Structure 1
Amino acid sequence: MGDVINNLPVVTDILSHFPDAQIDWVVEAPFSDIPKMHPGVKTIIPVSIRRWRKNLFKRSTWHEIKDFKQKLQNKQYDIVLDTQGLMKSALITRIAKGTRCGFAWDSAWEPLATLFYNKKFSVDKTRHAVDRYRLLAAQTFGYKPEPHINYGIVAPALTPSWLPENPYAVLLHATSRNEKLWPESAWIELGAYYKNQGIICILPWGNSSEHARSKRLAELIPDAIVPPAMRLEEAAAMLAHARGVVGVDTGLVHLTAALQKPVVAIFCGSDPAVNGLYADSPIRNLGNFGTPPTVAEVISAVEAVNKA
């Protein structure tokens, strides 16, 4: 999800220099709601590589692959841009019709991917992901990106029925790897802070283990809400109306920043210099590999972004 969100400013940049550009986006099906929020994306072409890998021996999988290939090849593109620099994305790029562009050998995360491009560009690997994608697109299309970052999205006009009428904060405790988790005791202490401020805590989840953690936390955070399973568009609406958002290194904290909402990100097992929140809105990145922030540091950051 993070890669999809970090590419949104590329769409805004291209359209600011080429207003008549028509942009299609190939995206993993579960994340297709994200580019839908950008009015500059004309057509979204879902792909299901993760699911296909697990079901390669099913006939239905090969029918889906065939349909995807036909849909992608229905149009002749001027430029086919691969911003990921991975073999899987390069193979998709190879299927599409048009001049294929991507990172050079010294810049791609999987250098063999460069074999599938017609034009290749170098971008410093140590730059933040948003910068890397924007600079790659700028070299591809021949413009200089503006210093301002504009993700270009607007949250859907939805109001889930379970959302409280009172002010609420969203605590994004769930993430893809255990080393990125912040201790449950810390979340409980943060929840007590919000309770004292008269703010209800919402504890989203995405799978059964995360659901169980949300319920454990809700038992110890007064008035906390464990919401039902949500689509991304519903999650975006929830984040857009929150009084505060705090989360570990996960896609929804990046989505909050893209929506230009104040947010504090907690890093316990990843480096915020490369993958941290990156926006012109009030944000804070706290912690790093093996050095998670304290609850006091998080509360201080919450108060700072809310005043910004």
Structure 2
Amino acid sequence: MKVLIVKTSSMGDVIHTFPAVEDARRNRPDVSFDWCVEEAFAGIVALHPAIGEIHTVAIRRWRKQLLDGDTWREAAGLRRAFRNCRYDLVIDAQGLLKSVLVAKQAAAPIAGFDGSSAREPSASLFYDRRYAVPRDLHAIERTRRLFGLALGYEPDFSTLESGIVPPPGSMAGISGKTAFLLHGTSREDKKWPVGDWIETARLLMKRGITPVTTWSNDREKAVAEAIVQAVPQAVLVPKSPLAEIAAIIGRAVLVVGADTGLTHLASAFGLPTVAIFLATEPGLTGPRGPFSSTLLAVPGGRVTPAEVMAEAERLLALKSQAPA
């Protein structure tokens, strides 16, 4: 059986789908999987060994260039690629009108959430198979349930495995124990103050752990440079391809991150991960992993570097006691 997964974005949503793929790989070894994803996240999908062909879309770019001939040629090429693959089933794990539009291009039966379960209920009107999954569950569990219903098995919720490992690679000049500080995030109200990142870097150095950070735009660059200027032993990784950053993160002993996709990636790698949530509720979409934890700022309050380090110490001790 050949199945196409449609989960185009965001990075965190893509990573939340991996445990469902891992369930399916164990329960349905007769099924092979391809995936359709936004081009920026193709390298993330490639981390899972069960994924065969990766089809890419560029929906945001296409929307801005609807009259451009290249847009229509790319869309037509995607449709041809889908149909050449002759899928037996498409699982729309996103539940949006934009994802079902992509799924329809494969000309195969589509499975997805029913009208009471989908993020955009009208998307379910276009599915051939609809499944009820409670909306008050974490995104990972919702997707695991959807895959189980679509492929005919019961997921084992006593375990949680992503099936991914860090890609090979490292950065010259980084040695010893490192902690990756993921300060960049999409919204200003999600950002931890730069002074708190600096204090955390200092506390890490006192523990013998070298802080590592990076950036992807000018605002993030200013924060990263401020951390390194205040703590000269910290390492600044230049703006780099996602696969290279993933490799460096994967070799850290600890990750401290804001509400951002790379924090979810660290958690999926099984790394001790402290996630700092300031403006969003982590209950249904926060990082999940055997050694991950979320610190949530109470209204009118804050998360302090001391609190972050105390939680980091707890997770590091937990990791050290876990079977190899």
Q: TM-score range by the shorter chain?
A: over 0.9
Contact 2:28 2:151 in 1 (8 A): no
Among residues 158, 162, 179, which one is paired with 1:151 in the alignment? 162
Counterpart check, 1:233 vs 2:271:
no
Counterpart check, 1:75 vs 2:85:
yes
Paired amino acid for 2:136? T
Match of 2:74 in 1: 64
Contact 1:286 1:292 in 2 (8 A): no
Match of 1:253 in 2: 263
- In the aligned structure 2, how far is the partner of 1:128 from the partner of 1:221? 37
Among residues 301, 308, 313, which one is paired with 1:303 in the alignment? 313
Alignment map for 1:130-141 (pairs within 5 Å): 130-141=140-151
Contact 1:240 1:261 in 2 (8 A): yes
Match of 1:286 in 2: 295
Mean CA deviation greater in 75-84 or 285-294: 285-294
Match of 2:38 in 1: 28
2:239 match: secondary structure: coil
Q: 1:83 Cα deviation (Å)?
A: 0.8
Unaligned runs of 5+ in 2: 1-10, 319-324
Contact 2:253 2:271 in 1 (8 A): no
Mean CA deviation greater in 232-241 or 287-296: 287-296
- In the aligned structure 1, how far is the partner of 2:252 from the partner of 2:146? 34
Match of 2:206 in 1: 196
Q: 1:156 Cα deviation (Å)?
A: 1.3
- In the aligned structure 1, how far is the partner of 2:217 from the partner of 2:77? 29
Fraction of identical pairs, as percent: 38
Q: 1:216 Cα deviation (Å)?
A: 2.0
Counterpart check, 1:185 vs 2:195:
yes
- In the aligned structure 2, how far is the partner of 1:10 from the partner of 1:207? 32
Contact 2:95 2:120 in 1 (8 A): yes
2:276 match: secondary structure: strand
Counterpart check, 1:212 vs 2:225:
no
Match of 2:286 in 1: 276
1:123-167 residue CA offsets vs partner (Å, 9 max, x unmatched): 111111100110111111121001211111121111233x51232
Counterpart check, 1:48 vs 2:58:
yes
- In the aligned structure 2, how far is the partner of 1:215 from the partner of 1:56? 39
The change in CA–CA distance for 1:73 and 1:274 in structure 2 (over 3 A counts) is: same
Aligned length: 306
1:46 match: secondary structure: strand
Counterpart check, 1:3 vs 2:13:
yes
Contact 1:265 1:286 in 2 (8 A): yes
1:188-208 residue CA offsets vs partner (Å, 9 max, x unmatched): 111110121222211121222
- In the aligned structure 2, how far is the partner of 1:137 from the partner of 1:276? 20
Unaligned runs of 5+ in 1: none
Counterpart check, 1:176 vs 2:192:
no
Q: 1:306 Cα deviation (Å)?
A: 0.3
Q: 1:211 Cα deviation (Å)?
A: 1.3
Contact 2:111 2:129 in 1 (8 A): yes
Contact 1:93 1:116 in 2 (8 A): no
How high is the TM-score relative to the length of structure 1? 0.95
Contact 1:270 1:289 in 2 (8 A): no
Match of 2:6 in 1: none
